[in-house]
Amino acid sequence: MNELELKYGCNPNQKPARIFMPDGGDLPLTVLNGRPGYINFLDALNSWQLVRELKAATGLPSAASFKHVSPAGAAVGTELADWERKIYFVPEDAQLSPIACAYIRARGSDRLCSYGDWAALSEPCDAATAAYLKEEVSDGVIAPGYTDEALAILKTKKKGGYNVIAIDPDYVCAQQEYKDVFGVRFQQGHNFFRIDEDLLGNIVTKNKVLPPEARRDMLVALITLKYTQSNSVCYVKNGQAIGVGAGQQSRIHCTRLAGQKADNWFLRQHPKVLSLPFVEGIRRPDRDNAIDVYTSDEYEDVLREGEWQRVFREKPEVLTAEEKRAWIATQSGVTVGSDAFFPFGDNVERARKSGCAYIAEPGGSIRDDNVIETADKYGIVMAFTGMRLFHH
């Protein structure tokens, strides 16, 4: 099949809309269920590239959760700890495959932003992954294949309308890519730049100890950034993006946004949050929203009289600002990546507040000396990759 007609483009008034192969060849994908739209396909094709490259770089099954052409989260498939099962709403007795763990962790990076996401899997989707997806609010999934059981599960989602796309894992795009903006055609070479450990050899700080886990996390950060709308900064821990700051005009705002998301992720592990007494039968999105508000400065919105009864069996104690600051201060071992150089040391200062111990960024600022000096002040290991990763 060479082309596929779409209901409309980015908005309902943008018609006609289609995807097609300009060389006359067949599309490298097959729609197995549903009717994906224009934005769905943008998410699907960007997210597939991310997980394919992440698997190639780390050797681990990889997954991503995309919203509006940027990842809300990405992760590799390591086994879930008991606390992860709890904060990601995984039943204690659920049998999980590595690719299921990868998606659960990718979605768990920022469950609020992943509401209504597009899922991408580097491996064929199995029943364990499909069963988890079935319980989440999601628009669709792309993978190199599906087991019969997984496809049967997914076809029951959204009253049979859930979008399921199979992608040819051997497909390689053309060297040149094109884009029309306001009637003007752009052309550039596709970004085939390979991100691997060879990129991490230029350590510019006094501390040069970069353990294997941090190298892996640098790869997760950089590959995630390669498919995130720029400017962008990504915080990673244990093979999982825990904060993505995308599309900001200022680098420090990227760093703050991603850092706040990383802090939110860590606050979900606070004992007071883990013990919140939710009412029976509460929906996952309602739990996610309640946790987000409870851990924020607007906590009174969920704890006020007449509101807390709707969510909790009993009124929880407030998670105070002092408790939040003390908890976040215990965070450590976080890796931060940036798609372009840090122009000032303030980015390092902000990253440190969220437990940053390792940084990967291109370098090349006229103030590199200041940035390195700030990293040295805290014993942070910083690698200059020499490669910008803008994506638009």
Distance CA 173, CA 192 (A): 10
Q: How many CA atoms lie within 13 A of 91 on its CB side?
A: 8
CA atoms of 3 and 94, how far apart (whole Å): 40
pLDDT at residue 93 in the model: 86
Q: Which residue has the tokens 């100890």?
A: 209
Query: Is residue 183 left, alpha or beta, with left meaning phi > 0 and alpha meaning psi from -120 to 50?
Result: left
Handedness of CA 218, 50, 340, 195 (dihedral sign): positive
Report the catalytic residues: 67-68, 231, 392
- With b meaning 16 or more CB within 10 Å and e meaning fewer, what string describes 166-182? bbeeeeeeeeeeeeeee
Q: Is 229 within 8 Å of 257 (Cβ atoms)?
A: no
For residue 91, what pLDDT is reported? 87
* Mean pLDDT for back-to-back runs of 10 residues, the chain (392 residues): 93 96 94 97 98 98 97 96 92 92 97 96 98 96 98 97 97 95 96 96 97 98 97 97 96 97 97 96 94 96 95 96 97 97 96 98 96 98 97 94
Tell me how crowded residue 370 is: count the other CB atoms within 10 A of its CB: 16
Identify which of 128, 179, 191, 189 has the alpha carbon closest to the alpha carbon of residue 154. Answer: 128
> pLDDT tens digit string along 136-145?
999 999 999 9
Where would I find the H helices in 109-230? 127-134, 148-154, 212-226
Q: Where are the alpha helices (H) located in the chain, listed in sequence order?
A: 38-58, 82-87, 98-108, 127-134, 148-154, 212-226, 251-267, 271-274, 284-294, 300-303, 308-311, 321-328, 346-353, 368-377
d(CA 207, CA 209): 6
**pTM (predicted TM-score):** 0.96
